[in-house]
């Protein structure tokens, strides 16, 4: 049986509380915010590593973004991933989900054979949740979305995933290869393995590909390949909590409360 190969798509995102959008370009100003691995992508990596623990094989991490992503992606290596692929080129900048998925898929094709593509359910910045289904479409393979538990059959022919729904859960099956998007907080990502850290943080274990290294149509990447443009943004007013003291006899308090609720509705 060929070894199981999972590719985990990881995005490095600005910490949500520090996000600022450049009002001129409508792009995220990454200079001013500290970054982190997009939280559900940690759950996706953990799910892939559990499968590796159970079935053997290898786990690759794939990301598209600027070179400063590298040290964050190395955390994935220290947790148990085997190799990182970073697609990094100024020409990829400004990509919407269509151009992002096209570029990631060209990277996936260059990586070679795979059984599972894992993604987080959505990013904490763009938060469209369109990338996992977009990858499945470009690759013309099946997908399981918003999964919180996954197993694969003994002969590695299909994956079975569990998705929470109101009042219960669904069990879904898909033939391999397939794309799986993983629910936030569906598992507890493991700590970095301290024995792996020296290799993870200084080893020759990251492949960086620019647009010239991939078989790409330049019209389908970055801004030229992005029909969706963020044209406007507005601050949502933050409604602070208000406290009022209502005093009087119990029947008076009840009446005053009823009036206040009526006003608020």
Answer yes or no whether residue 65 interacts with ligand FAD by CB under 6 A. yes
For the window 120-159, what string marks contact with ligand FAD as x by the rule CB under 6 A? x-xx-xxxxxxxx---------------------------
- Residues 6 or more apart whose CB falls under 8 angstroms from that of 249 comprise none
Which single residue is written with the structure tokens 């991490």? 61
Report CA dihedral (72, 78, 80, 81) to the nearest 10 degrees: 40
**Can residue 43 be called a binding residue for ligand FAD (CB under 6 A)?**
no
Residue of minimal Cβ distance to ligand FAD: 126
Residue 111: name the closest of 133, 81, 91 by CA: 81
- CB-based contact 132:119 (threshold 8 Å): yes
Query: How near is the Cβ of 258 to ligand FAD at its closest, in Å?
Result: 41
Task: Give the Cα separation of 184 and 41 in Å (integer).
Answer: 8
Q: Is 11 in the site for ligand FAD (CB under 6 A)?
A: yes
Taking residues 84 to 123 in sequence order and writing x for each that binds ligand FAD by CB under 6 A, - otherwise, the string is -----------xxx--x---x--------------xx-xx
254 is a contact residue toward ligand FAD (CB under 6 A)? no
Is 21 within 8 Å of 28 (Cβ atoms)? yes
The answer to whether residues 21 and 233 touch, using CB atoms and an 8 Å cutoff, is yes
Judge contact between 108 and 71, C-beta under 8 A. no
Positions in 179-238 near ligand FAD (CB under 6 A): 228, 230
Give least dist CB 128 to ligand FAD, A. 3
Q: Which residues bind ligand FAD (CB under 6 A)?
A: 9-11, 28, 38, 40-41, 44, 63-65, 95-97, 100, 104, 119-120, 122-123, 125-132, 228, 230
């Amino acid at each position: 049986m060929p070894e199981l190969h999972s590719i985990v798509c990881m995005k490095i995102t600005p910490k949500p509380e520090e996000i600022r959008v450049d009002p001129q370009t409508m792009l995220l100003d990454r200079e001013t915010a500290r970054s982190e691995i997009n939280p559900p992508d940690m759950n996706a990596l953990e799910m892939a590593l559990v499968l590796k623990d159970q079935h053997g094989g290898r786990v690759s991490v794939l990301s598209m973004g600027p070179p400063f992503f590298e040290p964050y992606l190395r955390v994935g290596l220290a947790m148990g991933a085997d190799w990182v692929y970073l697609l990094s080129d100024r020409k990829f900048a400004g990509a919407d989900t269509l151009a992002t998925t096209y570029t990631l898929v060209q990277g996936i094709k260059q990586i070679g054979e795979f059984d599972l593509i894992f993604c987080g359910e959505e990013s904490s910045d763009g938060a469209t949740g369109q990338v996992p289904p977009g990858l499945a479409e470009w690759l013309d393979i099946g997908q399981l979305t918003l999964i919180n538990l996954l197993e694969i059959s003994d002969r590695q022919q299909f994956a079975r995933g569990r998705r929470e729904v109101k009042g219960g859960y669904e069990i879904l099956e898909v033939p391999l290869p397939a794309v799986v998007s993983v629910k936030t907080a569906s598992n507890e990502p493991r700590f970095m393995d301290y024995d792996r850290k020296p290799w993870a943080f200084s080893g020759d274990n990251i492949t960086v590909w620019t647009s010239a290294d991939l078989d790409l149509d330049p019209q389908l990447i970055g801004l030229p390949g992005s029909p969706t443009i963020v044209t406007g943004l507005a601050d949502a007013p933050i409604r602070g909590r208000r406290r009022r003291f209502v005093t009087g006899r119990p029947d008076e308090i009840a009446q005053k409360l009823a009036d206040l609720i009526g006003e608020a509705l």
